[in-house]
Structure 1
Amino acid sequence: MAKEHLKVIAGIDTHTDTHHVAIISETGRHVADQEFLAVESGYRKIIEFITGFGPVVAAGVEGTGSYGAELARILTKEGIQVLEVMRPNRQGRRLQGKSDPLDAYQAAESVLAGRSTATPKARDGAVESLRVLRAERATAMRARVAVMNQVQGILVSAPEPLRAKYRGLGSAAIIAALEKTRPAGNISEPLNATATALKRLAHRYRALHQEIALIDAELDTIITTHAPLLRDLHGVGTDVASQLLVTVGDNPQRIGTEAQFAALVGVAPIPASSGKTTRHRLSRGGDRQANKAIHSVVLVRMMSDSRTKTYVTRRRAEGKSTKEIMRCLKRYIAREIYEQLLHPHPAPDAGALRALRKSKNITLQTAAGDLRVWPTALSRLERGLTRDDHFHERYTNWLNDH
């Protein structure tokens, strides 16, 4: 076969300092392999190497979320299809051994065999910014908890005069009181040393608290610009929205169906039947942080969403347990979130409801009584503080009938 007509597949084994690239033909024949430095000049040489044998069908890259992230971005910009390759299985490594060339060739063969079909996340947009900020926030949150635990632990064994000052106070009150202290005296005295340490810990706690508040404001700004309609969904706030966006990535079109999204966030039902028992459970795969985010949406809706409360009551009457009901809700919510991610649509105009009600001289209490909801819930809907499309339609029809 002439070189100019040869179509090739690249496999890349990525590491911190070097990347090993292997080239195979469409028939699986090993063509060439070479190691390159994981730097800008090395990336240019990789492009020249893999395109020097003919048209590139695809490139299978290991570690597109870590060592291979920058390389995946560059290959994509060059118009080369990048597919994410999982680490070779341990059985294959025991039988065939392990080396960088072998891993690179296996990556290319995985693409050729159709085992690697996942498109990696595009880490070049606003969602990548969200990911970095969330990573920073997670460590700050853990550090703040550790500081508070240390303050409580020191107070447990502190001298009684010091313990008496803070007995019965909550965490926030303890931190505020410790910040105002002015420890003095010989630092070799346990009372003075303890008071000094507690004051410094309080300052550290306050600094972490301010850092987290700053990150939250930055996350809110990015979401307001990048995906403002996602938070229109009931129960979806800044934390949940940012996590779901990070899970999907800057290229949500890589998730072709809502069933794939359900699998990605760990809410896809899978068979769990045995003997006379026929049932399903939710997948334990996928992104567990995204699953946690959807779980929090379920909890919020079970407490405050009238439609969800009605659904829970009906399913309980059918004999379903709370866990089974929550599994169903997670699947429904995943479907709703997927639709909003791919095809965002704004919430209905709630302000028109208040104007329509007042034009008909109907009081809030009268409307709430007829609709069998709390007046505060109706007021929040009219002011756009909550979203419930089904109740919005019901309220609109009720106003039109009056």
Structure 2
Amino acid sequence: MTIVAEHYDYVVGVDTHARTHTYTALAAGTGAVLDTAVFPTTTTGTTRAISWIRRRTTNGDVLAAVEGTSSYGARLTCALLAEDIPVAEVRPPNRNARAMHGKSDAIDAQAATRSVLGQEVGQLIEPRAAGARTALRVLLAARLLMDHQRTANRNALTALLRGIDLGIDARRPLKDAQIATIAAWRTVPHAQADVVVARAEAKRLAIAIRAGTEQLAANRTSLQTLAEELAPGLQETPGIGPVTAAIIVCAYSHHGRIRSEAAFAALAGVAPRPASSGNTTRHRLNRSGDRQLNRAFETIVRTRISFDPVTRDYVARARATGKSSREIRRNLKRYVARSVFRQLQAIMG
């Protein structure tokens, strides 16, 4: 395989921030620093930065190594790709590197450049594609916020009903029918001040809970539509619903971003890690990687265990050999990651 230093003539590293980006241009063959500059993140500043890149990298192929392509560097990434400048996503320097070389925007930009020089071109991390995938990420972030808010409102309502007797049995989790009843309450005349205030607050919380439920339902419908558009048939796989499908599609993004099913498993935090000692040979759960993607695979596995006959047969056989429930789920998540990756390669490749 060809490495970046052999394939490209120039590499431009970018350390991204909210207000400014710092750019460093290097000659790929020699590693010599050609120039460093800082430009604002405005549209005009990005245009000036691209012109600067063109002037510093004449008569040769150039690669941009950008930090934070999905956050501070998202707009810059789109602008570079629109100018036919390939972009590779790089991670910020770790603590050991900063302890050795120091910390500044120029140093980080140069580190971003040098971090890709020795990498194989086929193993570069490509930025996540925009369009419908960006819409999916926005919907998932919104869903997380709405779910947290609805849970907080439900907990607050339960606590209120347990603290003040308003005629609702709150010894157990509230049912939807009880919440609907509370949301339809009217003002009680000649009631004590604490009861009036408590009923008004309970009604407000109940209305907020019902609104949150409706918003989550609409969010789920949107996720289902977009996920099916990007990965047709993925939601027909046992255990995969609209939310888990959207998480998987966002993590996979597009063909070429993840080089192998092993890398996909590592990204999801489901690649087994050795935990052997002495006469004991075993593996443990991997707690690194994309935790949202890991939770999606956990949901898929638990769903399959509850209804899928093939999965339940495997669980029974594994338990007969002495495996624990956590070890069984780890094995199943690794299997699901492998099969889902191959499916994504087929339908999104």
Choose which of 141, 145, 154 in structure 2 pairs with 1:148.
154
Gaps of 5+ in 1: 1-5, 346-402
Choose which of 8, 22, 25 in structure 2 pairs with 1:23.
25
Asked if residue 79 in structure 1 is aligned to residue 84 in structure 2, the reply is yes
Choose which of 97, 111, 115 in structure 1 pairs with 2:116.
111
- For 1:185-196, list aligned pairs within 5 A: 185=189, 189-196=193-200
Higher relative contact order (CA 8 A, sep 6+): 2
How far, CA to CA, are the matches of 1:224 and 1:92 in structure 2? Answer: 43
Of the two, which has the highest radius of gyration?
Answer: 1
Instruction: Output one character per residue of 1:105-160: Cα deviation in whole Å (capped at 9) or x when no partner.
Output: 121121224399542433412121111011111100000000011111111221x3
Asked if residue 222 in structure 1 is aligned to residue 223 in structure 2, the reply is no
SS in 2 for 1:252: coil
Instruction: Output one character per residue of 1:58-92: Cα deviation in whole Å (capped at 9) or x when no partner.
Output: 21111112100111122223222212221122233
Partner of 1:397: none
How far, CA to CA, are the matches of 1:167 and 1:23 in structure 2? Answer: 64
SS in 2 for 1:60: strand
Asked if the contact 2:14/2:23 (under 8 Å) is kept, the reply is: yes
Q: Identify if the C-alpha distance between structure 1 residues 165 and 328 changes in structure 2 by more than 3 Å, giving closer, same or farther.
A: closer
Choose which of 51, 64, 68 in structure 2 pairs with 1:63.
68
Partner of 2:178: 174
Instruction: Output one character per residue of 1:159-197: Cα deviation in whole Å (capped at 9) or x when no partner.
Output: x3x2x3445673312211111111245898111111111
Partner of 2:49: 46
Choose which of 317, 337, 347 in structure 2 pairs with 1:334.
337
Partner of 2:298: 295
How far, CA to CA, are the matches of 2:287 and 2:40 in structure 1? Answer: 38
SS in 1 for 2:222: helix
Note the aligned Cα RMSD (angstroms): 2.2
> Residue 243 of structure 1: CA displacement?
0.9
Partner of 1:124: 130
| Number of aligned residue pairs | 336
Instruction: Output one character per residue of 1:250-270: Cα deviation in whole Å (capped at 9) or x when no partner.
Output: x23221211111111111123
Instruction: Output one character per residue of 1:332-382: Cα deviation in whole Å (capped at 9) or x when no partner.
Output: 11111011111039xxxxxxxxxxxxxxxxxxxxxxxxxxxxxxxxxxxxx
SS in 2 for 1:204: helix
AA at the equivalent of 1:107: A
> Residue 48 of structure 1: CA displacement?
1.4
The percent identity for this pair of structures is 38
Deviates further, 326-335 or 165-174: 165-174
Provide TM-score, normalisation by structure 1.
0.78
Asked if the contact 1:58/1:82 (under 8 Å) is kept, the reply is: yes
AA at the equivalent of 2:133: V
Q: Identify if the C-alpha distance between structure 1 residues 11 and 323 changes in structure 2 by more than 3 Å, giving closer, same or farther.
A: same
Asked if the contact 1:186/1:192 (under 8 Å) is kept, the reply is: no
SS in 1 for 2:233: helix
Q: Identify if the C-alpha distance between structure 1 residues 70 and 186 changes in structure 2 by more than 3 Å, giving closer, same or farther.
A: farther
Provide TM-score, normalisation by structure 2.
0.90
Asked if the contact 1:69/1:123 (under 8 Å) is kept, the reply is: no
- For 1:32-43, list aligned pairs within 5 A: 32-43=35-46
How far, CA to CA, are the matches of 2:279 and 2:216 in structure 1? Answer: 51
Instruction: Output one character per residue of 1:22-43: Cα deviation in whole Å (capped at 9) or x when no partner.
Output: 1111211111011111122222
Asked if the contact 1:12/1:21 (under 8 Å) is kept, the reply is: yes
AA at the equivalent of 2:85: I
Asked if the contact 1:10/1:59 (under 8 Å) is kept, the reply is: yes
Asked if the contact 2:266/2:289 (under 8 Å) is kept, the reply is: yes
Choose which of 206, 210, 214 in structure 2 pairs with 1:206.
210
AA at the equivalent of 1:22: T
AA at the equivalent of 2:137: R
